[in-house]
Each structure stands twice: as structure tokens, then as C-alpha cells.
Amino acid sequence: MNDALKVSCTKSPEIAGEITPPGDKSITIRALILGALAEGNTVIKNPLNSLDTRSALLAVQLLGAGIYEREHDWTVIGEGLRPPPGELDLGNSGTALRLLLGALAAYPGVEATLTGDESLRSRPLERVVDPLREMGSDAVCLEEEGRAPVRVRGKRLSGISYELPIPSAQVKSALLLAGLGADGAVEIIERTASRDHTERMLPEFGVAPKIVAGNGRRALIVPVGMKPKAAEVTVPGDISAAFSWIALGWLLPGEGVTVRNVGLNPTRLGALRVLESAGARTVVQQEGSYGSEPYGVINVFPSRLKGLRVDADEVPSLIDEIPLLALVATQADGESVIQGASELKVKESDRLRTTAETLAAFGAQVEIADGGLKTSGPQQLHPATVNCAGDHRIALLALACAVLAGGESEITGFSCADTSYPGATVDAKALLQGVELI
């Protein structure tokens, strides 16, 4: 993508106001897939309409689900899956590819080949394919080193007890969906909690995994012979999208930021917890729940921050926020360390490298070390011209850097932000004062 966003700061930027972030990407994709597997009409309210979610939507359509779209809700008409007429192109969405792979592996009579864009085809799939093959699946990667395209022929699978070698919500969710079509119980064990949107959503579709916790581990057991039933799912706002403005709310002068109708799932709030311990002034108020997903309001105020530390067991709850956490760290007093984030190397880009390179372009020094990042602050930023490497998280990082740097900066390829946040510049204009976006 060669399009560019020019950021011009006509005076010292300030931030004030409130936004309602777009619907959560992870929850929208899960609702689409479960709606396609379920019998009947599933209604998804406040879905995210982005490049990634549309890739998932098109894929379930090609698999036989009917889709009726209105401005604020989608209806998924589940009538059973069928073989698609060609490859299923999931674009840049690793979530959609991995979850569909698990679902299709246990769906007899459907054969499909799943692929994606260049970035998605470079990301590893063995961590999903290997446990599926232990269950009896014949899923196979068609490229070397366990990369997409991946072909799967649906069949009845066997039960399994599988301990996740690394925390991964995508692998866990793929196995949960495969467990819906297994002949025996599927037990998934995790030592460190990852995002739990799938296990929260499954009961809404009439399938409630048994959760057993103890001895430093958490096991999810999928009941045998349960078929999802249509549901109504309301999607809260995406906290990962909102985190751009939360971070700037701490760092910029002004009245602060109010984020409304945002998801408050505890497995997604790690960044807030880390920054609050570093001195961030934040008020979080839960207002209710959509199904099992809590939502509410986050109020953020300008804060004097000290150096922050992220340990490996905290990473799953803040992995999407690490680029912006690294930016915040460069503005905090003292040394900051983020550990155990090597999973970022296999995201849409090598996100450890592209985070460090983006910050360096704006004048901040960040070291890649021990599978994480180290920096100290506060550091002065300066305007820059950067490319966001086709990574939507890096695009939003670059926008925040440009605002903090002042002056005039340019971000090439910024439209990749549409992967998860197509309205990012609209919200930026609503919140930022002294900043022009062209």
C-alpha cells in the first residue's frame, strides 16, 4: 500500500473529548464463524466492518452461510456448511484462518483450502495443524515450514488432552471449535491465561465448555455431541483500537479522553494494569455486560509516568498494545523493560523489529533484547517519514508518534489501518487539537 497520511501539527497538540471505538475485531470474527456453524439466524449487533472482518464474512458466505447486512447489525443464516467454490482468501486475518481451520477440520463432507495475503502466508500454522493432526485431521500446509495455503478435509475427529506450549487464544479457539465435532472429549490446558472470548461466547450458542482451574493451570473441556444454536451477539468496542487515544490521553496536555462502550474483558486489560502501576491516571467503570463480555467507560487523564515493566506472563493480556506501550515507555521517567514478547515476531510484521524501527525513525532509541524491548526516557521525538510495513498496529503507532513529535510527518501505507480500525483518522480529528491530517 503506497498511500500516505500527512500529519501536520500547527501548534503544540492537545487531546480532549470522547469517542466510542469500533466493534471488537476478535469478537466479531468469532461471532461470524459460530453463526455459520449454528442452525438458524444469528444476529451480530455492532460488528466491526473492517478488512479483516470482511475477509471472515466472505469466507463464511462461500462456505454456505447467508449474510444479511444492515448498518448496525449483521444476520448470519446458518444452514450447514458446504465445500467452497475455490480457495478461501482470509486476507490479513490470522484469527479467521486459524479458527476456520479448526472448525472445518471437524466438519465432515467439506474440503477447503485456506490462504491469505503475503503477510498471512508467512506466518506459522504448525502450532494449529499439529494438535489437529493428533485429533485425526488430515490438515496439511501446502508450503514449506508450515505456512499457508493449508488444505483441510473435514472428518470426525478424536478427543484429545492438549497443553498449549505457548499462550495463544487463536490456537485454543481453533481446538475448541474442532472439539465441537469430535467423538471424544477435547481438553485444552493453558498455564498462562490468553484471551477468553471464545469460551465466553460458546455458551451463548448453547455450548458451555467445562472450566477446571487449579495447580497453576486452567483446563477447558468441550462437551461431546453439542451443536451450536443461533444466538444474538452484541459486540463491545475494541480496546486495542481505543488504546491509541488512551496512550495519547496520558502523554498529551489537555482534558484527557473518555472512551465509551469499550470492552472490559479482563484478559484484554493488561496494558491498563501495567500503566496504572507506572502512575497513569485512569478511571474504569463497568456499565454492564453483553452476554459474558463486560463493557463500560474508561477515563484517561494526563499523567507523569515512571518506567514500566512487562513480564512474560502479562504479555497475552496486552500483546496488541505493545507497540504503543513502547512509545509510552520512551516518554516515561527511567528505564522500561518488556519481556517475553517474541510472539510479536510472527504477527503482520516482525512487530518487535518494526516497533523499534518506527520509534527510531522518530528519534527514540529502543533496544530489542531477550524477546522483548528495552528503553529509557523521557526522549524527545522529531518529525519523520515512515512506512508502516503493512501492519495496522504499526500504522497506529506511527500516527501517535507523529502527534507527539509535532511538526510535519508522513506515514506511507497508512490504509492498512483499515484492517482493524477504518475510522481511525475520523476519531483522531475529533480528539486532537492543533493537528491536521491530510
DSSP codes joined into one string, 132-173: HHHTT---EEEETTTEEEEEEE--PBPPEEEE-SS--HHHHH
- Predicted confidence at residue 233, as pLDDT, reads 98
Are the C-beta atoms of 362 and 379 separated by less than 8 Å? no
Kindly report the CATH number assigned to the domain that includes residue 59: 3.65.10.10
And the C-alpha cell for 348? 503482520
Residues 76 and 217 in one domain: yes
Question: What whole-number distance in Å separates Cα of residue 38 and Cα of residue 61?
Answer: 14
Q: Which residues of 331-356 are buried (b: 16+ CB within 10 A; e: fewer)?
A: bbeeebbbbbbebbeebbbbbbebbb
Question: What whole-number distance in Å separates Cα of residue 356 and Cα of residue 28?
Answer: 30
The overall average pLDDT reported for the chain is: 95
320 is catalytic: yes
pLDDT tens-place string over residues 101-124: 999 999 999 999 999 999 999 998
Number of H helices, E strands in the chain: 13, 23
> At 2, is the pLDDT very low, low, confident or very high (cuts 50, 70, 90)?
low
Q: Which residue is listed with cell 501495567?
A: 274
Residues 330 and 283 in one domain: yes
- Predicted confidence at residue 1, as pLDDT, reads 42
- Predicted confidence at residue 379, as pLDDT, reads 97
Residues 288 and 175 in one domain: no
Residues 32 and 89 in one domain: yes
Q: Which domain-ending residue is among 216, 234, 252?
A: 234
- Predicted confidence at residue 392, as pLDDT, reads 96
pLDDT tens-place string over residues 337-386: 999 999 999 899 899 999 999 999 999 999 998 899 999 999 999 999 99
Dihedral sign for Cα 376, 378, 382, 383, please. positive
Residues 218 and 249 in one domain: no
Three-class DSSP category at 184: coil
- Which one from 320, 391, 418, 427 is the annotated catalytic residue? 320
Residues 169 and 317 in one domain: no
Residues 153 and 67 in one domain: yes
Domain count across the chain? 2
- Predicted confidence at residue 318, as pLDDT, reads 96
Residues 188 and 245 in one domain: no
Residues 282 and 430 in one domain: yes
> At 145, is the pLDDT very low, low, confident or very high (cuts 50, 70, 90)?
confident
Which residues have CB under 8 Å from 355's CB, separation 6+? Answer: 322, 323, 326, 344, 366, 373, 394, 397
Q: Which domain-ending residue is among 212, 234, 256?
A: 234
Q: 167 is in which domain, residue-wise? A: 25-234
pLDDT tens-place string over residues 34-69: 999 999 999 999 999 999 999 999 999 999 999 999
Per-residue pLDDT, averaged over 314-324, amounts to 96
Question: What whole-number distance in Å separates Cα of residue 247 and Cα of residue 302?
Answer: 9
Kindly report the length of the chain.
438
Q: Which domain-ending residue is among 187, 214, 234?
A: 234
Residues 270 and 293 in one domain: yes
Question: What whole-number distance in Å separates Cα of residue 64 and Cα of residue 180?
Answer: 19
Residues 85 and 140 in one domain: yes
State yes or no: pLDDT of 314 exceeds 70: yes
Continuous H helices in 114-269: 118-121, 126-134, 169-179, 197-201, 239-251
Are the C-beta atoms of 312 and 346 separated by less than 8 Å? no
Residues 240 and 179 in one domain: no
Question: What whole-number distance in Å separates Cα of residue 122 and Cα of residue 125?
Answer: 9
Three-class DSSP category at 88: strand
| Strand 293-301, strand 254-263: pairing | antiparallel
